[in-house]
A and B are shown apart, each in its own frame.
Chain A
Amino acid sequence: MTNQINWEFPQALEDEAIYILRETVAQFEKPVLLFSGGKDSITLVRLAQKAFYPGKIPFSLLHVDTGHNFPETIAFRDWLVNTLGLDIIVRNVQDSIDQGKVQEETGKYASRNALQTVTLLDAIEEGKFDACIGGARRDEEKARAKERIFSVRDEFGQWNAKMQRPELFDILNGKINIGENVRVFPISNWTELDVWNYIVREKLEIPSIYFSHEREIIERDGLYWPYSSFLNTTADEVPFRQKVRFRTVGDMTCTAAVLSEADKLEDIIAEIMEAKISERGARIDDKRSEAAMEKRKQAGYF
């Protein structure tokens, strides 16, 4: 049933996302767009461009750089910002480590994924941002499936799943108390496939690691890990070269590759429709426990 390709992007999703972005700018004093360099945040940038055209995008991008990003992602970020003339704020997890606020994980599964929450919360406080626009989608993960479009976080960035405000029709209540902020999810109702169809329709550029390329990888726990200086490997984990691509863009230490020959958007979409593994199935950070995402969200993660 899902094997038949339907290329048509549901226009209702774009209209809804633009409406949400306009509400965000109207209801908050200082919104910011959380930019990771992945396809979802690239989609958000496009939507923001459309929502305020012919005006400029009325907020900055904020990138929390873990220092473990794919170099291709950083190059893409800089290219996009320059081409579209966007404002961007970059905050580094390394600084939080240097300040002693967080501690680097050790062992072969060490990643900076959990550490970035602290850097993010500091950046929100420093910038006095009352709304952080993010590209999370409800289809990604079952805790995300429960989240509102305007999701209120307390002073510590925490999400209280049991006390969420009711959200009715398309009426968005962005009123918050001092110290609180709101995470805004304009593409809540999009699926992975919707995002890809949108990228095709809008002819958007994306980082090269989404396309098939040859790279050094190691095999661990049945997943293909990108080999890099950030990854702690054991003696028997020998890197080898393989044609792969990435389905999501996270850190090099927590994003697994998929074997793929898809080097065109059309092939990527066809591959996703055939895929037996979910998008976040290649996210090692989600595999820590059944409630991994819910726990991270409670702590202020995106």
Chain B
Amino acid sequence: MEVLRIATSGSVDDGKSTLIGRLLYDTNSIPQDKMEALHAASKRKGLDFTDLSLLTDGLVAEREQGITIDVAHIYFSTPTRKYIIADTPGHIEYTRNMVTGASNAQVSLILIDARKGIVEQTHRHFFIANLLRIPYLVVCVNKMDLVDYSEARFNQIVEDFQVMLDNASFKGQEVKFIPISSLYGENVASRNGTISWYQGDTLLEYLEQVSFDHEDNQHPARFPIQSVIRPRTTEYHDFRGFAGKVVSGHFNVGDEVVSLPSGQKSKIKTIEQFEKQLTVAHARESVVITLEDEIDSSRGNMLVKTTEVPQQLKEVSANICWMDQQKLTNGKTYLLQHGVNRVKAKVQQIQYITDVTNHLQKADKTEMGLNDIGKVSIKTAAPIFADAYQNNPANGAFILIDEFNNTTVAVGFID
């Protein structure tokens, strides 16, 4: 059974949580006791309808303010697939949480209030979805009931959105526009017939048929080593296996591989998944690989095919999103974590900060603040074995960690 990961984003009050509530409700994913709790909570708030957003706003502070602060993960299944929704905040000050939610998504769901059209948050959300190269974009034009289900209004918003698409740096996204009313459930999981001029898929129909491009499998093979398994028991006295997850591409038994950074070569002897012996390991599979020869490899090293060796970078140019209250300053050192590999790193220069609403780049900046997105040059103390994010996203991202308080302060996408 396949898992489809969706990130939702929208700005305040455009009905994002209601939309998700509607999806769950219409797929019978809300158990009776939760539904009753929802009715009761809505009543207490003095509402005369059942507020489906109370389902996803899990924190007291969120329910008090009626906004989403942090990413909530929501699950539902159809007979076709399992869905994981990362419901992310729309508020500008929680942009970092939005990036967090979007980082694992295959589909980005952008909500637009039909009355307001494209607003600043729409630009921000689209910019991030585009920066992360999320393959599918669904633009839901919501609250159609409040604009008399006007086709002209819908077409105007599609046209405005098209301008944004034309200016985007990554053109490979598949974009789908759907007019909906999450309050009445129109075009979410079913049709009520109020939008007769729209003949296309409902949101759920669209999600059900989004094809999984197993692109990660086509990319060069990368196997970062998480740990070395050496049981040293009588039965497995000489066993030495490399445990890890194939991040991209695939490996076959017999493949010639090289271990980075040592450069030592060998051949894959076995690929194991618990008691099973495999002949091939695909992208995202957690396996143990044993080699024909004893070579020097440990955590943080990477096995790759001799025919597809990645760049070994000590100077990195990358787009980063800054996620910490404390500003980034030129020349400060951090820990850079690329996959499971951690190295010291120094931000040498902030090349520019991008205004995500109009794509303008502002140079001559010496610091970057919370939620800023921009281009930086980083120097690392040891090489990382990375691909450009645009060529192989699974091996092209990293985080920066503050050495003093250990928190994650930025995410980066390598040029």
Q: A residues engaging B (CB < 8 A)?
A: 1-4, 6, 8-10, 12-16, 18-19, 22-23, 25-26, 49-56, 138-139, 141-146, 161-162, 164-171, 173, 175-177, 188-189, 191, 193-194, 275-278, 281, 290-291, 294
Least CB distance, B197 to chain A, in whole angstroms = 27
CA distance A8 to B82 in the complex (A): 11
Least CB distance, A214 to chain B, in whole angstroms = 25
CA distance A267 to B34 in the complex (A): 24
The interface residues of chain A lying within 8 Å CB-to-CB of B401 are: 173, 175
- Are A161 and B399 within 8 A (Cβ)? no
The one of B73, B231, B397 that contacts A145, using a Cβ cutoff of 8 Å: B73
A26-B299, A26-B340 known; A276-B32 Cβ under 8 A: yes
Residue on A nearest B397 in the bound complex, by CB: A169
A142-B55, A166-B97, A191-B77 known; A281-B31 Cβ under 8 A: yes
The interface residues of chain B lying within 8 Å CB-to-CB of A168 are: 99-100, 103, 397, 399, 408, 411
The interface residues of chain A lying within 8 Å CB-to-CB of B272 are: 53
The interface residues of chain A lying within 8 Å CB-to-CB of B71 are: 146
A146-B59, A168-B408 known; A9-B226 Cβ under 8 A: no
- Are A1 and B61 within 8 A (Cβ)? no
- Are B408 and A166 within 8 A (Cβ)? yes
Tell me, yes or no, whether B155 is within 8 Å of chain A by CB. Answer: no
CA distance A260 to B403 in the complex (A): 54
Q: Of the 9-residue stretches B114-122, B156-164, B235-243, which lies at the interface with chain A?
A: B235-243
- Are A19 and B245 within 8 A (Cβ)? yes
The interface residues of chain A lying within 8 Å CB-to-CB of B37 are: 290
- Are B77 and A146 within 8 A (Cβ)? no
Q: What is the 8 Å Cβ interface bit string for chain B, positions 59-86, against chain A (1 contact, 0 not)?
A: 1110100000111111111110010100
CA distance A290 to B340 in the complex (A): 39
- Are A276 and B31 within 8 A (Cβ)? yes
Q: B residues engaging A (CB < 8 A)?
A: 1-3, 27-29, 31-34, 37, 41, 55-61, 63, 69-79, 82, 84, 96-97, 99-100, 103-104, 226-227, 229-231, 233, 235-236, 239, 241, 243-245, 272-275, 284-286, 288, 299, 323, 335, 337-340, 394, 397-399, 401, 405-408, 411
- Are A3 and B28 within 8 A (Cβ)? yes
How many cross-chain pairs have Cβ atoms below 8 Å apart between A and B? 179
CA distance A138 to B72 in the complex (A): 8
The one of B70, B77, B78, B230 that contacts A164, using a Cβ cutoff of 8 Å: B70
- Are A188 and B73 within 8 A (Cβ)? yes
Given contacts A1-B27, A177-B406, 16 further A-B contacts (CB under 8 A): A15-B245, A15-B286, A23-B226, A55-B230, A55-B236, A143-B59, A162-B70, A168-B103, A168-B397, A168-B399, A169-B103, A170-B104, A171-B399, A173-B337, A175-B335, A175-B406
Residue on B nearest A25 in the bound complex, by CB: B227
- Are A55 and B73 within 8 A (Cβ)? no
The interface residues of chain B lying within 8 Å CB-to-CB of A14 are: 286
CA distance A161 to B57 in the complex (A): 12
Least CB distance, A161 to chain B, in whole angstroms = 5
Q: Is the interface of B mostly helix, strand, loop or mixed?
A: mixed
- Are A2 and B70 within 8 A (Cβ)? no
Which 10 pairs, one residue from A and one from B, show the smallest C-beta to C-beta distance? A142-B58, A278-B31, A175-B406, A281-B33, A276-B32, A18-B286, A8-B1, A55-B231, A22-B226, A4-B79
Least CB distance, B51 to chain A, in whole angstroms = 13
Residue on B nearest A13 in the bound complex, by CB: B3
CA distance A138 to B406 in the complex (A): 25
The one of B1, B104, B323 that contacts A6, using a Cβ cutoff of 8 Å: B1
The interface residues of chain B lying within 8 Å CB-to-CB of A15 are: 245, 284-286
Least CB distance, A12 to chain B, in whole angstroms = 5
Least CB distance, B138 to chain A, in whole angstroms = 19
The interface residues of chain A lying within 8 Å CB-to-CB of B31 are: 275-278, 281
Residue on A nearest B235 in the bound complex, by CB: A54
The one of A6, A23, A53, A175 that contacts B340, using a Cβ cutoff of 8 Å: A23
CA distance A170 to B398 in the complex (A): 10
Least CB distance, B63 to chain A, in whole angstroms = 8
The one of B69, B233, B405, B407 that contacts A162, using a Cβ cutoff of 8 Å: B69
Residue on B nearest A298 in the bound complex, by CB: B60
Least CB distance, B340 to chain A, in whole angstroms = 7
The interface residues of chain A lying within 8 Å CB-to-CB of B27 are: 1-2
The interface residues of chain B lying within 8 Å CB-to-CB of A4 are: 79
CA distance A143 to B71 in the complex (A): 11
Residue on A nearest B283 in the bound complex, by CB: A15
A54-B239, A161-B70 known; A10-B408 Cβ under 8 A: no
Residue on A nearest B84 in the bound complex, by CB: A189
Residue on B nearest A295 in the bound complex, by CB: B60
CA distance A10 to B408 in the complex (A): 30
The interface residues of chain A lying within 8 Å CB-to-CB of B82 are: 10, 191, 194
The interface residues of chain B lying within 8 Å CB-to-CB of A167 are: 100, 408
- Are B79 and A173 within 8 A (Cβ)? no
- Are B75 and A146 within 8 A (Cβ)? no
Least CB distance, B206 to chain A, in whole angstroms = 16
The one of A1, A16, A138, A169 that contacts B79, using a Cβ cutoff of 8 Å: A1
The interface residues of chain B lying within 8 Å CB-to-CB of A188 are: 73
The interface residues of chain A lying within 8 Å CB-to-CB of B28 are: 1-3
A138-B73, A162-B70, A167-B100 known; A290-B226 Cβ under 8 A: no
Least CB distance, B414 to chain A, in whole angstroms = 13
CA distance A160 to B72 in the complex (A): 15
A162-B69, A278-B33, A281-B31 known; A173-B399 Cβ under 8 A: yes
CA distance A194 to B75 in the complex (A): 11
The interface residues of chain B lying within 8 Å CB-to-CB of A12 are: 2-3, 284
The one of B58, B73, B75, B398 that contacts A171, using a Cβ cutoff of 8 Å: B398
- Are B1 and A9 within 8 A (Cβ)? yes
The interface residues of chain A lying within 8 Å CB-to-CB of B299 are: 26
Could you list 18 examples of A-B contacts with CB < 8 Å?
Answer: A1-B28, A1-B79, A6-B1, A19-B286, A23-B226, A53-B229, A145-B58, A146-B70, A146-B71, A162-B61, A167-B100, A170-B245, A171-B398, A173-B401, A173-B406, A173-B407, A173-B408, A278-B34
A146-B70, A168-B100, A191-B75 known; A22-B227 Cβ under 8 A: yes
- Are A55 and B100 within 8 A (Cβ)? no
CA distance A291 to B59 in the complex (A): 8
Residue on B nearest A177 in the bound complex, by CB: B406
Residue on B nearest A22 in the bound complex, by CB: B226
